[in-house]
Every structure is written in structure tokens, then in C-alpha cells.
Structure 1
Amino acid sequence: MSEIHVEGYSPTIKKRALSRKLVAARKEIGMTTTEVCRRLRWSATKLNYIEKAKWIEPNPEAVTDLCELYGIEGHAREALAELARQARQRGWWTRYNDVFQNEFPGFETAASAVSTYSNVFLPGLLQTATYMEALLPIGGVDDPAEIKRHVDARLRRQEILDRIDAPCRLHAVIDENAITRIIDPEVRTTQLNHLVTMADRSNVTIQLIPTTAGLYAGAGEPFTHLGFDDPGERDIVFLETTVDDRMLEEKDELRRYMLRFEQLRAVALSAEASRDRLLKGTG
């Protein structure tokens, strides 16, 4: 299978779209999941994996079986078959399955806007290679070859900000403590200079929450909100925890985290004041 580059295309998004369309087709004819499993002699787990977009690569035969059962013919059927074909292609991140433990890069690649809050480490899309190299051993990655591989993968993620066609818009709210913790002078200088450079870009907004803000509304675990231009795609909030990673899609969950982000924006310094503060830190 050919490699997919990061110009806004993502098999992960295609897979989710395919699952969503198949669920809509089932509901349109009023068929329950139990009935589908009985008619096709499938397990409930198999259908659940399809409808929840948990399948690793969409099975063309399964899509065909569902189309026949739901009475989908002609152009509609051809469109689903093409969507299944696109969803089976491999994204660049699949080359780094040992680095990425979930499908977040597949969703991130297709995002048109990213809003993120960080309070311990800097956002991945803004990290320099030297910062990554200092950070990875803390997470247990200490082999030089493995560190290089992780850095390469993380830098590849950042290419969404450089897309020729519609670069992703990034809005990062960062607790200043994440910067204070960088005590290596070389790493600190390089990273702060990079943040200033990124802050000057038209598609990047960086706001700092100064330590002088004290306790503030919206504080808590870091999170990332992914927005998509396609109105048919539901936004995602990604939470990375010590125990596991979670991707939230329900409207009430998305609303709750966007409210948090607005609270964080309100307490943070303006983009201009944040840039000035970063610039002073480089001196």
C-alpha cells in the first residue's frame, strides 16, 4: 500500500466516515444490531468494531455484506466501496506503531484546527528536537536509536502546521510552569526561540498563563481539541493520562472542554504579551 502524506488526508478519518455511513444506513431501514448479527451470522463484537470504527483495516467483504443487507445499490454502494478502499490505505504514522500507541496522529493529520492546553510539558506540536531528547528519557525511552526514532515521529506530526494547502491552525495555552521546568540552558534557549518563531506565524497563537496568575479557572489535566472543516466530521477531545488515552466525541463532552479552553484563554496573557514574555526569557 502506498504511503499517505500529511496534506490533510487521513485514512483514519475515512474509516470513521465509513462507519458513520454504515450506521446511518442501518438506522434508515430500521434494523437493530441484533437483527444484523442474526441475518449475517456475525458476532456482536464484529459489528460493534465496524460501527465504532475500531477495525484496523475495513474489510471489503464485510462492507459488501452490509450493503446487500441494507439494500444499498448503484452509486451509493460504489461510494462506500471507494471509501473502504481509501480507509485501508496506510498513513505515515503506521510506520511508527512502536511510538504511537493509538490513532491520535491519524485524527490530528486531518484536523483543520487544534486547541491545546498544557501545564507540565510543552505541546507536542511546538516541541524542538532538543526538548524532545531531554523529555523522552523521563518516559523511559533512553536508547539513542529509539530516541531518534521517537523524535523523527514527533517532528513528522508537526508538518500539519506547514501544509501548503490550508495549514492547520494551532491555538496553544501553556502554563508558564512548563517553561520554568526547562533548566538546561541550551535546551531552554533553543525551545524559547522556537516558540517565539512559531508565535509569529499567522496560523499559530500562543498564550501563556503566568505563574503570578495563581490558582485559575480551567486548571486541570492537559487536553487537545481537534476541529475539522468537514461539517460531517465530529470534533474530538484527546486526553492523555498515566493509565490510558481517551478520545471524547459526545457533544456534551466537547462542549465542556471548549468551555474550559475559553476559561483558560481568558486567564492567560494575550498573544502579544505572551510573545514578549517568551522573548525576554531568551535573553
Structure 2
Amino acid sequence: MGNEVLRVAMAAVGETAESLAEKVRVDPKTAARWLADGRIPHPRTRFAVAGLLGKEVAELWPEPFRRRDLRWFRAWAELEQSATSLRSYQPLLVPGLLQTEGYARAVLSTGGLLPAAEVERIVAGRLDRQAVLSAEAPPQLVAVIDEVVLRRVVGDRAVMAGQLAHLAAMAEREHVQVRVIPAENPWHTGLAGPFVLARLPDGAELAYIDNQLRGQVVSDPVDVASLGRRWESVTGEALPCRRSTELIREVATTWS
């Protein structure tokens, strides 16, 4: 079954399978299959095509997206699943891929800004995403967090005890590193805001940043390189992996 939504979007901007294939660097026969057979391209290619056509990725290829993903987050959620490595810096929260169910629910429930049903939908989607870390070929995940993440209560003491125990356990996995920036360290570049860097199978790098309203996938090489320099800066502030895990376990005992 063909992809009529893609066909209409291409026609609206005057693109053909050949012209689109040239711009996203695939074989024209491959692009033709997207139309004729409804084939779904690689996530990075989907993102590039959507940008060229002025559409959301989920509009052109809705199948890969779970309905519980926030619409603006869908593009990143899919790129995340295909990444070979992820580098995440979070100054205030445990990264989503490492959150427990209770911690995620507490974060999303704070302030009563979201209806309970919406909170549960997002929590379920967040837990679904975490399956990538248990896949046959999981990405290499390096997460850098500030020590305040370990010490500021989210939910209650039981939630924090469970979250820190989970964080320490995940840090023992061969493909997961969790590094902590000590509280006594002075102001550093990462405190300007969280970000994630992803490397895809073809070697390309993309990034993700968010704010109070929504997140944004960053593909401009200059911007990605700038975030890469910030990553080098924040990792330079962090404790080594083993010492970080020891600190996480130490703080966990204060929540018990």
C-alpha cells in the first residue's frame, strides 16, 4: 500500500522521487518505494524528508510512533531508538531513560499542570522508551548529572530511594555510564540548560534541547558542534564513573 500523504506533500512543493532522493542522499529507487510500497525509511532520513517537505515526521510516517508520545517529542523519541550512542546532560533531573516509574510520575504530576490521564500516558511512553537500553544491541549511554539531582526530593523519600538504587544499578551495566558533578564545583557551562547528543548508525550526530514548553531536535552541524564543546566541558567537571556510582549509593542511604 502506497504512502498517499507523502505523495501529496511532495507534489505540494514540487518534489519528485528523484529530486528528493538526491537531496537526502538515497537511491531514487529507494525513494520510489516509499511512495509505491509504503516503505518506511531510516529515522534520520525521515527527519530530513519531513524538513524538506515542511511536515512533521509523524504526519508522513505515523506507524513508528506510539500514540502516547507527545507530538513535539516524537521525532526525537524515534531517533533515540536508532542511536548507537547517547550523551545526556541534566542539571536538575534524572534523564528520562533512567527514571523509575514513580520518579517519572512524580515529576510530571508536580504542580497539577497535567491531567492525571495525561500524566499516565506520558509515563507509559517514557517507560516504553527505556526498552532500548535492554535491546540486543543497545546504544552506549553516558549520562552526566549534577549532585543536586540526587539530593532534591522528587515525590517522597521512598521515590528517591528507589530512583537512586535504580540509577546505581543501571550504572553497573556495561553500556551505561552515570557521572556526577559534585555540588561544591563552581558554576559551569552545563548549568545553562540540559541537552542530549545522539550518534546515528551512519555516523551523523544530532542533538535535542528542551525548555518549559517543548523540545527541539537540532541538526545544524554548527549548533551540534557547539553542544559537543559544552559536553566536553561538563564531563570535565564530573567525577569518574566508579566514584560517581559510590556517591549515588551514599546519597541513596540518606533517603532510606
What TM-score do the two structures reach when normalised by structure 2?
0.77
Q: Deviations over 1:193-217 (max 9, x none)?
A: 0001100001101000110112234
Contact preservation (8 Å) 2:151, 2:251: no
Distance 2:122 2:157 in 1: 23
Deviation at 1:109, TM superposition (A): 1.5
Return the match for 2:235 from 265, 274, 282: 265
Deviation at 1:270, TM superposition (A): 0.5
Is residue 2:33 matched to residue 1:79?
A: no
Return the match for 2:153 from 182, 186, 199: 182
* SS of alignment partner, residue 72 of structure 2: coil
Deviation at 1:254, TM superposition (A): 1.3
Is residue 2:170 matched to residue 1:198?
A: yes
Letter in 2 for 1:241: N
Look at both structures and tell me which one has the larger radius of gyration over its CA atoms: 1
Distance 1:186 1:151 in 2: 18
Contact preservation (8 Å) 1:207, 1:268: yes
Deviation at 1:78, TM superposition (A): 2.4
The alpha-carbon distance between structure 1 residues 139 and 90, as it changes in their structure 2 partners (threshold 3 A), is farther
Q: Deviations over 1:173-230 (max 9, x none)?
A: 0011122212521011000000011000011010001101122344311001111121
Question: Which residue is equivalent to 1:28?
Answer: none
The alpha-carbon distance between structure 1 residues 254 and 69, as it changes in their structure 2 partners (threshold 3 A), is closer
Is residue 2:120 matched to residue 1:169?
A: no
Letter in 2 for 1:59: R
Distance 2:21 2:211 in 1: 43
Distance 1:244 1:148 in 2: 18
**Matches of residues 114-153 of structure 1 in structure 2 within 5 Å?**
114-138=86-110, 140-153=112-125
* SS of alignment partner, residue 216 of structure 2: strand
The alpha-carbon distance between structure 1 residues 272 and 145, as it changes in their structure 2 partners (threshold 3 A), is same
Distance 1:66 1:142 in 2: 43
Letter in 2 for 1:66: T
* SS of alignment partner, residue 202 of structure 1: coil
Question: Which residue is equivalent to 2:57?
Answer: none
Is residue 2:255 matched to residue 1:282?
A: no
Return the match for 2:16 from 66, 85, 102: 66
Distance 1:247 1:70 in 2: 21
Aligned length: 224
* Structure 2 unaligned regions, length at least 5: 42-59
Is residue 2:219 matched to residue 1:249?
A: yes
Contact preservation (8 Å) 2:21, 2:28: no
Report runs of 4+ in structure 1 exceeding 6 Å deviation.
68-72
The alpha-carbon distance between structure 1 residues 152 and 71, as it changes in their structure 2 partners (threshold 3 A), is closer
Letter in 2 for 1:79: T
Letter in 1 for 2:119: I
Q: Deviations over 1:78-100 (max 9, x none)?
A: 22122452145544534225x34
Letter in 2 for 1:175: D
Contact preservation (8 Å) 1:114, 1:226: yes
Return the match for 2:210 from 240, 252, 256: 240
The alpha-carbon distance between structure 1 residues 96 and 279, as it changes in their structure 2 partners (threshold 3 A), is same
Distance 1:70 1:201 in 2: 41
Distance 2:220 2:114 in 1: 38
The alpha-carbon distance between structure 1 residues 132 and 79, as it changes in their structure 2 partners (threshold 3 A), is same
Contact preservation (8 Å) 1:217, 1:267: no
Contact preservation (8 Å) 1:117, 1:261: yes
Distance 1:59 1:155 in 2: 34
Contact preservation (8 Å) 2:66, 2:125: no
Distance 1:282 1:71 in 2: 52
Is residue 2:184 matched to residue 1:209?
A: no
Contact preservation (8 Å) 2:132, 2:138: yes
